[in-house]
């Protein structure tokens, strides 16, 4: 009996030595069993679960994507338009021609400062936002050199116009020897000189003083240039404006040749209006 057992054990050892794969794979089916240890180590233990999205969900997601893209496109377009408008306005302002470099500052004395009457100024409104003609003349009388005397000259012009014409001061602006501009009818009202043309496309500026024989001080010309530049900046005077003087046939003493001797050399000078 012991011999039989020994033979069986010896046979089992011989079989194990001759086929070592049997030790590694206790159960084998054609060397590719699903229970094979080596194969099992290379096979994932958990399988990924695949979720299939429905066609309706896919369409909804596509619609949302399209709507978002369209909204972003519209916002970008609006932003570009705003930037374009800002750039256009900036370039337009840069291209507004300056008649000359102005070093003298523009100083406006508004009408209520020199005229305390509470009655409102009565003047027909200018229908044009930017007039094309500028008439420069002198007021006659004594010049002024400070705001007190220049304000008094503006009041006298108002009183004289009301006394002789029954109208308010006819000038749009007065310029004093103090280097300041005095608002009369301003940029919005028609001038009040019935003998002068172009009441709806002309601004009339009066230099305070008599300049038949005496040349105006340089400060008067400097403030005239500052007023013109400010008028263009406010779009109240066309950059292509035309400047004129006034010649009176019956009153040569009002023709101010000393004033026009200088203005004739300015670029926008176009001659005289004869009345």
Nearest residue to 212 (alpha-carbon basis) of 246, 180, 256: 256
> Which one has a higher pLDDT value, 3 or 201?
201
Lowest mean pLDDT among 34-43, 83-92, 188-197, 258-267: 34-43
Task: For the chain, give the percent of residues with pLDDT over 70.
Answer: 75
Q: Is residue 12 predicted with pLDDT exceeding 60?
A: no
Domain spans, the chain: 2-42, 58-95, 108-116+125-274
Residue 51: the pLDDT is 52
Residue 129: the pLDDT is 78
Contact (CB, 8 A) for 25 and 33: yes
Helix (H, G, I), strand (E, B) or coil at 83: helix
The strand pair at 108-109 and 181-183 is best described as parallel
Q: Is residue 218 predicted with pLDDT exceeding 60?
A: yes
Buried b (16+ CB within 10 A) or exposed e, 28-49: eeeeeeeebeeeeeeeeeeeee
What digits encode the pLDDT tens for the residues 100-133? 556 688 999 999 999 887 667 778 888 777 899 9
Eight-class DSSP state of 186: T
136: CB partners within 8 A, 6+ apart: 205, 206, 207, 224, 243, 244, 245, 259, 263
Residue 104: the pLDDT is 80
Per-residue pLDDT band for 37 (boundaries 50, 70, 90) equals very low
Task: For the chain, give the percent of residues with pLDDT over 90.
Answer: 47
Eight-class DSSP state of 51: P
Residue 43: the pLDDT is 52
Q: Rounded to an integer, what distance in angstroms lies between the CA atom of residue 175 and that of residue 209?
A: 9
Contact (CB, 8 A) for 186 and 173: yes
Residue 96: the pLDDT is 52
Looking at residues 186-206, what average pLDDT do you find? Answer: 93
Q: Is residue 29 predicted with pLDDT exceeding 70?
A: no
Lowest mean pLDDT among 14-23, 57-66, 86-95: 14-23
Q: 108-116+125-274 domain in CATH 3.40.80.10?
A: yes
Q: Is residue 229 predicted with pLDDT exceeding 60?
A: yes
Nearest residue to 185 (alpha-carbon basis) of 208, 166, 210, 167: 167
Rg from Cα positions in the chain: 49
Q: Rounded to an integer, what distance in angstroms lies between the CA atom of residue 137 and that of residue 254?
A: 9
Contact (CB, 8 A) for 193 and 204: yes
Q: Is residue 146 predicted with pLDDT exceeding 50?
A: yes
Alpha helices in 188-256 (DSSP H): 218-233
Q: Which helix (H) or strand (E) holds 4?
A: helix 2-18
Q: How many residues does the chain have?
A: 275
Residue 257: the pLDDT is 93
Q: Is residue 71 predicted with pLDDT exceeding 80?
A: yes
Q: Is residue 32 predicted with pLDDT exceeding 60?
A: no
What digits encode the pLDDT tens for the residues 241-259? 999 999 988 887 778 999 9
Helix (H, G, I), strand (E, B) or coil at 261: helix
What digits encode the pLDDT tens for the residues 159-181? 998 888 888 899 999 999 999 99
> Which one has a higher pLDDT value, 16 or 268?
268
Q: ∠ at Cα 190 (267, 261), nearest 5°? A: 30
Eight-class DSSP state of 125: B
Q: Rounded to an integer, what distance in angstroms lies between the CA atom of residue 260 and that of residue 255?
A: 9
Q: Is residue 22 predicted with pLDDT exceeding 50?
A: no
């Amino acid at each position: 009996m012991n011999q039989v057992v020994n033979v069986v054990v010896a046979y089992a050892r011989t079989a194990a030595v001759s086929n070592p794969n049997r030790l590694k794979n206790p159960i084998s089916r054609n060397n590719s069993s699903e229970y094979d240890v080596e194969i099992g180590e290379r096979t994932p233990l958990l399988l990924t679960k695949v979720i299939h999205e429905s066609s309706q969900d896919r369409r909804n997601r596509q619609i949302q994507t399209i709507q978002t893209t369209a909204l972003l496109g519209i916002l970008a377009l609006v932003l570009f338009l705003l930037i374009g408008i800002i750039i256009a306005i900036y370039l337009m302002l840069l291209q507004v021609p300056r008649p000359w470099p102005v070093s003298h500052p523009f100083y406006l004395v508004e009408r209520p400062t020199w005229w305390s009457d509470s009655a409102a100024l009565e003047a027909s409104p200018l229908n044009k936002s930017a007039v094309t003609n500028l008439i420069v003349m002198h007021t006659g009388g004594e010049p002024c050199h400070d705001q007190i005397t220049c304000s008094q000259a503006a009041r006298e012009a108002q009183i004289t116009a009301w006394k002789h014409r029954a109208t308010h001061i006819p000038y749009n602006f007065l310029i004093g020897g103090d280097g300041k501009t005095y608002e009369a009818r301003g940029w919005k009202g028609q001038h009040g000189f019935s003998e002068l043309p172009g009441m709806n496309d002309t601004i009339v500026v009066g230099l305070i003083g008599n300049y038949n024989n005496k040349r105006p001080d340089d400060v008067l010309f400097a403030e005239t240039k500052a007023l013109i530049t400010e008028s263009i900046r406010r779009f109240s005077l066309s950059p292509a404006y035309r400047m004129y003087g006034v010649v009176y046939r019956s009153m040569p003493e009002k023709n101010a040749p000393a004033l026009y001797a200088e203005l004739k050399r300015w670029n926008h000078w176009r001659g005289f209006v004869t009345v």
